[in-house]
Each structure stands twice: as C-alpha cells, then as structure tokens.
Structure 1
Amino acid sequence: MVLVDNYFLAILCCVYCCLCWGSWANTQKMVALKNWSFELFYWDLTVGLFVTALVGALTLGSLGEEGRTFFEDIAAMDWGSIKYALLGGIVWNFGNIFLTAAIAVAGMSIGFPIGGGLAWIGGIIFNYLLISLAGEVYPGNQALLWIGVVIIVAAIYICGKAYGKMSASKASTPKKGILLAIIAGLSIMFFYGLVVKSIDPQYITGGTGTLTPYMGVFCFAVGVLISTPVFNTFAMNHPVQGHKVTMKDYLKGDVRTHLIGMLGGFIWMSGMVVSFMGSGAANPAISYALSNASPVVAMVWGFFVWKEFKGAPKGTVPLIATMFVMFVIGLVFITLSN
C-alpha cells in the first residue's frame, strides 16, 4: 500500500483533507437551489463516500511495497478491530446527518463553525487522550495545543453571537440551527479516534487494532453505508424544515442532481483517505486538528461564494471577521504545537 512517511508531506495530506472536508457541503448548496432537500441529497452522498473508500482501498491500498495489500488485509482482519472502525462510521454518520441539517437551516458559515468547531476541539482532546491511554507522551508542546483549543472555543462562541444577531433581524429564532450544529459536533468528535483504534499501531500512534489505514477507512465507510437507511429514513419522516419526503421523491431526481450528491461524497472521502495515508508521520492529534480545520474553509465558501450574510444587520460582519481570524490563529497554535 501507499503510505506517506515524510512529516511535511503528511502535513500536506492533512491540508488537502481540510480543504475537502470544508468544501463537500458546496454540493449540498448546489442541489438545494433546485429544491432538493438535504435528506434526498444524503443518499447520494453516502454512495459517493462508500465508492470512493472502496476505490481507494483497491488502488492506493493495494499498490506500493509497504504493509499488506487490501485483499491480504481482508484475510487477516479481526472483528475486535473492525468494530471500532464500523462504530466510527456509525457515530460520524449520526453527527453528519445533524450537520447537514444545520447547514440546510443555518448555512455553511454557521453550521460548520459551530458543529465542525465543536467536533474539532472535542476530537483533539479525544485523540490526545488516546495517545495518553496508550502509555505514550504527546510529542509536542502541550501549552500551544491547549491555547489553540481555547481560542477556537472563543471563535465558536462568537459564531453563535453572529448567528443570533442575524436571526434577530429576520424575526426568526436561531435555536434550531445552533442546536442541530451542537448535536453534530458532540457526535462527530469521536469518530476519528475510533477509526484510529482499529488500526495497527505500526501505522499510527494510538492504534490498538490490526487493520491497515485503508482497511480502517473502508470499514468506516461500511459503517456509514449500513447506518444511513436508519438515520436518514428517520430524518425523512421527521424533517427539520419543509415537508416529509419519500424514496419516490428521490427517484424523481435527474442524473445531474444525483451525481452532484455523489461528488460531495467523493470530495469528503478522498480527504479522509489521503489523511490516513499520512497519519503515521503526523500523530493523530495533529492529523485530526489540521484535517478538521474545515470550518475555516467552509466559512470562506459560505461568506464569499454563497453570500450567506448578505443583508445582515450592522455589526454582524465584524463578528464573522473576528471569528475567522480566531479560527486561523487557533489553527496556527495547534500546528506549531507539534
């Protein structure tokens, strides 16, 4: 399989993942313009995720000279390791349904900073604990790490204030969008560490399993695939906005609409595949921290491309600018901590 051993290249892998995880929701915004609800979009997103993970395992996971190939890993894998990756997929999927709903209700500029931001700091802490519980010492400056985390927490708070200010001008309540984003963040924060635990420690710090990175990512995708019918069917029957939708509505979508949704899955999963490709050179806490800087990317898309704050009341834009700067500063501190 193909792995990245150079630290600088591993950081670039994480940056690519960050760009992907902050950009996939553009496809949701694209189909929303055609009144395609996020629940219908989510079926295509799941298909794109799974196919991309499979292709990654069959290509990058089977080429190169390092470790076992994907098919050799199938013969060697054990349930004790698989269950962590599957659980990681299920946990992420539960949270991502809420994140997708938050984006539909509040937009990328709000859903991502709150939901993604909480997942970001929670995941850093969770992955830090995994390193500690494995009997190892965090390989970096812990003070810089925690300063970065505190700054990001402050940025999330400012984001909530900005959304509340904008909602007040429209005589609407911000509670639904914020609540959906919070639930998303509290769920997503655990998925990365669970997948890490499924992987053989020779490939990643904190791993306790027997899987290669590509097999871990593939099993994660299987977890997403098998849980989507449960989570998304519930979402279809209990919409957070609009009316109920059915599979008949899904089948009415044209080919372009379905392909856009699958593209969203490809974008997100290609980021995860590349991130785990370099996870051995960059410890899990740093890999997760850099990869999940996606709220910064999503804010740029939401603010400048989708104009989500167009017509916002006076004082809102300075709050958004402050939030963006604080996210970047927090990211710099976290990066320097290694």
Structure 2
Amino acid sequence: MILPQSYSAVMFLMILSLVCLGSWASAFKFAGKWRFELFYFDFAIGLLVASVIYAFTVGNIGFDGFNFLDDLQHAGKRQWMFGFLGGIVFNLGNMLLMAAVSVAGLAIAFPMTMGIALLVGILIGLAGRPAGNLMMLELGCALVLASVVVNALLYRMRAVAEHEVLARAGRAKSTRRPSAIKAIILSLVAGILIGSFAPLLDRARAGDLGLGPYAATAVFAFGVFFSSLVFNIFFMNLPVEGEPVDFGAYFSGRLKQHLLGGSAGVMWLTGVLALMVAGSVPDLVQVPALERYLLSQGAPVLTALWGIVVFREFKDGDVRVKVLGVLMLVLLLCGMVMIGLAPQYMRAV
C-alpha cells in the first residue's frame, strides 16, 4: 500500500478529509426533492465501489506495508468481523442522520448529531483509557453539549418562523405550530450510533492481526452496503417524513440524482480513508495534535456552513435565529478546541 511520507502530504490528506466529510451531504440537497431513502441506495453503491477501487489501486501498490489482498489474508477473522459490524452500526446511525437532514436540514441535523457523537465517543474513550486534563475535557464537553441545546432551541425557533411565513402566505397545512421533537430524537439516536462505531473499527485495526487502512475501509464498506439493503426496507415502509415509498420509485429518478447519491458515497469514503491513511504514518511526519483533532472533527461545522450559506436554510428566520446559529457554531468550535487541547495537559488525569 501507499502511505504519505512527508508532513505536507499528511496535511493535504487531513484537509481533503475535512472537505469530503464536510461536503458529501450537500449532494442530497442538490438532488432536490429526491427522497433520502432512494438517495441512500446510490450513496451505499458509491461508497462500496470507491472502497474497492482504492483497495486495488493505491492499496495494492507501493512498499509501505502489505498490499490489499495480503492484508486481508494476514488479518484475523475477528478483525474482519469488527470492521463489518462497525459498518453496520455506522450505517444505521448515518441513515438516521440523513432522515434528520430531510426533516430539519443540514445546518441543524449535522451539528446536533455530530456533537452528540463526539460526546459519546469521549465517554467511551474515558471508560477505556482516560487521559489528559479532565477539567479541560469536561469544559470542552460542556461547550459541545451547550451547542447541542442551542441547536435544539434554534431549530424550534426556525420552524416557528417558517410556519408563520407559510401562514401569512396562506400555504400552511395547519394552524398548529410545528414540533421539533422528531428531528431532535432522530439526531440523538443517530449521534449515539455514530459515536459508537469507532471502537469497533479501532478493534478491527488493532494488534499484529489488524487490518490496514485500505482493507479496513473495504470491509467496513461491505458492512454499510449490505446493511443498507436491510435498513432501507424499514425506512421506505415506515418513513420519518412523507408517504411510504416502494423500490420501483428508485428507477424513476433522474441520472443527475443517481450520480449525486453515488458521488456522496465516494466523497464520504475518500474522506474516511484519507483520515485513516494520515493516521497510519510515523509521528515524525504527523500533523500536530490540536490541528489533527480539529481537522478530523470539524466536518459538521463545514456542513452547517453549506446549509446556512449555500442553501440558505435560515433565510426565513429573524435576527434571533441567525444569532443563535452563530452562537451554536462558536460553542461547538470552542468545545472542540478545549477537547483537542486536553490530551496535551496531563496535570489533572
């Protein structure tokens, strides 16, 4: 396989990862009124195809470790299982995240879900190997939690503002003010699941029999693909938004919509693989810890900016909505900085 050999190459991969992981979901918005359940079939296909292409190209040449097929043969079957299960757990969380996006939009669903996922990941990490300055870590977690709470309030206020605009135009379906509970529950469950898959992937890569980055993403991608076929049956028949949809509707989509779904899967896989490859290099060429943490965790901020700036998801909101949107992002970023700094200050372990 090929691994980066310089600091600049590692930094490039980290930035590439941030851009891909922060932008893939925008493809769903560009697809227009295409249902997320149908979009997700193409996402899973694109993700799987990208993992296989990367595995048999950059994962199968070079002299920085086992090639792809040798890596699969060398790894233990338990490592295969953990990688596959990690794909399943992540996929259910990611499908719930896309359901939340279809209800609440990118700027609400992504920061809320990924903020919860970040907190869950930290709790799991503390249970396994607590390290760093606990005071800084707790402050960082409190800031992230505050951003989630502000996000929930923001969504409620935005939903009310949008309903009032529709009511004044005579296009409101009901006089009742909309509830924010559906998107919040979807984001909460999605965040718990997404925050829980990383330990499974870590176990797939751990030890002498662990999978390398290219093999791990390939096994993970198969878990995502096959579980999508199962989970989507439930989402299509028990939709979180709109009427049930049958599989035949998939073939009525335009080529553009299918390509957008596939490109989203390619972008996501590229981002995760770039992150894993960048994390596999020696410390000598590694990016400093804080920058590495912010680049690896900053995707929800970029996704929120897609929603706010490009898709104008807050356009019907008043000044309070816009102020809360800025506050939510500032709290999330400040929390990430504190969490990223905590391992560098070991005084209060």
Cα distance, 1:61 vs structure 2: 1.4
Cα distance, 1:147 vs structure 2: 2.9
What is the CA–CA distance in structure 2 between the aligned matches of 1:327 and 1:178, rounded to whole Å?
17
Provide the residue aligned with 1:161 in structure 2: 153
Report the more deviating stretch, 145-154 or 60-69. 145-154
Equivalent residue runs for 1:277-292 within 5 Å: 277-280=277-280, 281=283, 290-292=295-297
Provide the residue aligned with 1:305 in structure 2: 310
Question: What per-residue deviation string (whole Å, max 9, x for no partner) do you get for residues 280-328 of structure 1?
Answer: 3569x97676423211111111111101011113411111111111222
What is the CA–CA distance in structure 2 between the aligned matches of 1:10 and 1:124, rounded to whole Å?
24
In the alignment, structure 1 residue 271 sits paired with structure 2 residue 252: no
Report the more deviating stretch, 219-228 or 7-16. 7-16
Cα distance, 1:55 vs structure 2: 1.4
In the alignment, structure 1 residue 199 sits paired with structure 2 residue 191: no
CA contact (8 A) 2:107 2:308 kept: yes
CA contact (8 A) 1:155 1:327 kept: yes
What is the CA–CA distance in structure 2 between the aligned matches of 1:61 and 1:122, rounded to whole Å?
31
Equivalent residue runs for 1:317-336 within 5 Å: 317-336=322-341
Q: Secondary structure at the match of 2:205?
A: coil
CA contact (8 A) 2:97 2:187 kept: yes
Provide the residue aligned with 1:252 in structure 2: 252
Question: What per-residue deviation string (whole Å, max 9, x for no partner) do you get for residues 155-185 of structure 1?
Answer: 1111111111122332211111111111110
Question: What per-residue deviation string (whole Å, max 9, x for no partner) do you get for residues 110-146 of structure 1?
Answer: 100111211122223334544x2xxxx74x5554444
Cα distance, 1:57 vs structure 2: 1.3
2:34 partner letter: W
What is the CA–CA distance in structure 2 between the aligned matches of 1:22 and 1:158, rounded to whole Å?
21
Judging changes above 3 Å, is the alpha-carbon distance between structure 1 residues 37 and 22 closer, same or farther for their aligned structure 2 residues? same
Report the more deviating stretch, 180-189 or 74-83. 74-83
Between the aligned residues of both structures, percent identity stands at 33
What is the CA–CA distance in structure 1 between the aligned matches of 2:78 and 2:294, rounded to whole Å?
27
Report the more deviating stretch, 165-174 or 104-113. 165-174
Equivalent residue runs for 1:172-183 within 5 Å: 172-183=178-189
Provide the residue aligned with 2:79 in structure 1: 81
Judging changes above 3 Å, is the alpha-carbon distance between structure 1 residues 252 and 21 closer, same or farther for their aligned structure 2 residues? same
What is the CA–CA distance in structure 2 between the aligned matches of 1:319 and 1:120, rounded to whole Å?
21
What is the CA–CA distance in structure 1 between the aligned matches of 2:140 and 2:150, rounded to whole Å?
16
Report the more deviating stretch, 54-63 or 109-118. 54-63
What is the CA–CA distance in structure 1 between the aligned matches of 2:73 and 2:84, rounded to whole Å?
17
Provide the residue aligned with 1:24 in structure 2: 24
2:43 partner letter: L
Q: Secondary structure at the match of 2:224?
A: helix
Provide the residue aligned with 2:174 in structure 1: none
What is the CA–CA distance in structure 2 between the aligned matches of 1:17 and 1:244, rounded to whole Å?
35
Equivalent residue runs for 1:17-96 within 5 Å: 17-31=17-31, 33=32, 35-96=33-94
CA contact (8 A) 1:47 1:262 kept: yes
Q: Secondary structure at the match of 1:315?
A: helix
Q: How many residues align?
A: 323
Question: What runs of 5+ residues in structure 2 fail to find an aligned partner?
Answer: 164-176, 345-349
Provide the residue aligned with 2:143 in structure 1: 151
CA contact (8 A) 1:119 1:187 kept: yes
Provide the residue aligned with 1:205 in structure 2: none
What is the CA–CA distance in structure 1 between the aligned matches of 2:14 and 2:138, rounded to whole Å?
20
Structure with the greater alpha carbon radius of gyration? 2
Judging changes above 3 Å, is the alpha-carbon distance between structure 1 residues 291 and 124 closer, same or farther for their aligned structure 2 residues? farther
Q: TM-score, normalised by structure 2?
A: 0.86
Task: Give me the CA root mean square deviation.
Answer: 2.3
Question: What runs of 5+ residues in structure 1 fail to find an aligned partner?
Answer: 203-208
Judging changes above 3 Å, is the alpha-carbon distance between structure 1 residues 10 and 129 closer, same or farther for their aligned structure 2 residues? farther
What is the CA–CA distance in structure 1 between the aligned matches of 2:223 and 2:136, rounded to whole Å?
35
Cα distance, 1:15 vs structure 2: 3.7
